[in-house]
């Protein structure tokens, strides 16, 4: 139960430039609300457990602290098995899928995908639904290794990947495509393939085409129809704790179909990860240990993935309701069918930079941070209005979102008084 900082009723913006990039606490008496797109907030319950495991009552329950735990120890293996089991149960992943824990984050998989898929067929062709910055990066990477095509090239004619704000209602797959790649939630653009909005193509559309999905920013937030999926992956830095590890959920028969081609770098080789229980090299032990606690927290507090999805929709509705009916803050993605419930970009004062910076300064004074990130995707260079963004991962509660809206409302009231 958060006791939020009482809202300031007076605000005098500083005359000097305030960038709003910092994620520092302004008032340490009160909790910090961090809405960063990732690495993201982790709930207080987890920190209590972490503290116990490192400093106090459980200190020796793993032989030593989780920071010092050997990946070859039975204690780590038990944690790894527990994490896999909890994720399988929570996400209802069928038995014909294997869970791998890789490193190199999401980007590692941008390279691993073409490199492994071409072991099924050396002339393999990937069809990429480039619907934002992350699928764009994956597409660019794939072209280093295989023949691939951007299937949405014409749909977003003349737009750069940071301007995408819609999705096609229908997706058709050319017959020469062996695998279809998509990102189910574009973290930067705020576009999402949603079950009750736009869905990603099902088996009836896919036919024999394999489906590979980047779930980095929506994994553990909504139900997945696994009958459509061949490979899914997600980096850990959003809903799974700290950056460093990456989950790959992959059909066992797809792993079996990979030729023993030893030219795939070992750290990207799905088959090698599968054969060694993700222990060929030293895994990100701390990530997996932390995730064990995070999964317990999700299971205890949110119970089911359906429930997480409902909470996620509720949080997004509260924020969109405000953004849609306000003169100062405007959502970037207008289309309700595909706007993300998780990452919500918005423009302040129709792109007025001074007003945006004043707003960021006000938020900082209210202990709200993470709305502006120094991304590698430059809006200025393209002469575009820079959006701010609020990310509503599982570490952000409904009460937190209500408080964020209260901060935004209060800013409008006192700024224009």
Ligand X SMILES: Cc1ncc(COP(=O)(O)O)c(C=O)c1O
Interaction residues for ligand X, span 220-279 (CB under 6 A): 235, 237
Question: Binding marks (x or -) toward ligand X, 22..61, rule CB under 6 A?
Answer: ----------------x-----------------------
20 binds ligand X (CB under 6 A): no
Q: Determine, following the binding rule CB under 6 A, whether residue 217 of this chain makes contact with ligand X.
A: yes
CB of 51 to ligand X, least distance (A): 26
Q: How far is CA 234 from the centre of its chain?
A: 7
Nearer to ligand X, 105 or 201 (CB): 105
187 contributes a contact to ligand X by CB under 6 A: yes
The closest of 104, 143, 372 to 236, measured between CA atoms, is 104
User: DSSP string covering 182-198, please?
Assistant: EESEETTTTEE--TTSS
Under the binding rule (CB under 6 A), the answer on residue 367 touching ligand X is no
Please, which residue, 237 or 239, has the CB nearer to ligand X? 237
Out of 183, 248, 360, 363, the only residue in the binding site for ligand X (CB under 6 A) is 183
Q: Where does this chain touch ligand X (CB under 6 A) — which range of 120-128, 163-171, 209-217, 345-353?
A: 209-217
Query: Shortest gap between Cβ of 226 and ligand X (angstroms)?
Result: 19
Backbone phi and psi for residue 331, each to the nearest 5 degrees, phi listed first = -65, 145
CB closer to ligand X, 30 vs 377: 377
* Shortest separation between residue 276's beta carbon and ligand X, angstroms: 22
Dihedral, 11, 12, 16, 20 alpha carbons, nearest 10: 0
Instruction: With residue 84 as reference, give the H or E element that holds it.
Output: helix 74-90
Among the listed residues 171, 180, 183, 177, the one whose alpha carbon sits nearest the alpha carbon of residue 135:
183
Pick one of 148, 161, 209, 216: the residue that binds ligand X (CB under 6 A).
Answer: 216
CA distance 85 to 157: 44
Q: Are strands 125-128 and 179-183 parallel, antiparallel or unpaired?
A: parallel
Q: Which residues pair with 89 in a beta bridge?
A: none
Q: Does 131 bind ligand X (CB under 6 A)?
A: no
**Beta carbon of residue 166, minimum distance to ligand X (angstroms, whole number):** 18
Name the token pair of 352: 């007025």
Show Cβ contacts of residue 211 under 8 Å, excluding neighbours closer than 6 positions.
Answer: 179, 180, 182, 200, 201, 228, 229, 230, 231
In the complex, minimum distance from the CB of residue 30 to ligand X, in angstroms, rounded to a whole number? 28
Interacting residue ranges for ligand X, rule: CB under 6 A: 38, 105-107, 134, 183, 187, 214, 216-217, 235, 237
């Amino acid at each position: 139960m958060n006791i939020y900082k009482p809202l300031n009723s007076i605000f005098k913006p500083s005359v000097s430039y305030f960038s709003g990039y910092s994620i520092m606490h302004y008032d340490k008496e009160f909790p910090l609300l961090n809405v960063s797109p990732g690495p993201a907030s982790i709930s207080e319950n987890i920190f209590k457990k972490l503290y116990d495991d490192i400093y106090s009552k459980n200190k020796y329950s793993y032989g030593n602290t989780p920071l010092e735990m050997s990946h070859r120890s039975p204690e780590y293996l038990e944690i790894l098995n527990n994490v896999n089991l909890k994720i399988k149960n929570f996400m209802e992943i069928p038995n014909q899928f294997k869970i791998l824990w890789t490193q190199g984050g999401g980007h590692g998989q941008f390279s691993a995908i073409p490199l492994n898929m071409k072991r099924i067929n050396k002339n393999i062709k990937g069809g990429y639904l480039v619907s934002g910055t992350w699928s764009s990066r994956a597409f660019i990477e794939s072209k280093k290794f295989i023949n691939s095509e951007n299937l949405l090239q014409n749909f977003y004619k003349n737009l750069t990947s940071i301007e995408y704000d819609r999705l096609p209602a229908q997706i058709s797959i050319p017959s020469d495509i062996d695998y279809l790649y998509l990102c189910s939630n574009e973290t930067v653009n705020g576009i999402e393939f949603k079950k009750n909005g736009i869905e990603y193509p099902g088996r009836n559309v896919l036919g024999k085409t394999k489906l590979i999905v980047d779930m980095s920013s929506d994994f553990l937030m909504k139900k997945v129809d696994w009958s459509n999926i061949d490979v899914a992956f997600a980096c850990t830095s959003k809903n799974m704790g700290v950056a460093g590890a990456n989950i790959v959920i992959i059909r066992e028969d797809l792993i079996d179909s990979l030729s023993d081609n030893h030219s795939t770098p070992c750290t990207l080789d799905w088959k090698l990860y599968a054969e060694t229980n993700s222990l060929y090299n030293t895994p990100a032990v701390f990530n997996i240990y932390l995730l064990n606690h995070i999964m317990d927290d999700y299971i205890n507090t949110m119970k089911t993935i359906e429930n997480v999805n409902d909470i996620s929709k509720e949080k997004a509705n509260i924020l969109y309701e405000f953004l849609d009916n306000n003169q100062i803050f405007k959502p970037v993605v207008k289309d309700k069918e595909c706007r993300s419930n998780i990452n919500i970009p918005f423009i302040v004062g129709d792109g007025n930079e001074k007003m945006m910076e004043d707003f960021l300064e006000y938020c900082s004074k209210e202990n709200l941070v993470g709305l502006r990130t120094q991304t590698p995707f430059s809006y200025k260079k393209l002469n575009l209005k820079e959006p701010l963004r609020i990310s509503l991962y599982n570490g952000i509660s409904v009460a937190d979102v209500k408080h964020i809206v209260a901060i935004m409302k209060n800013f409008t009231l006192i700024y224009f008084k």
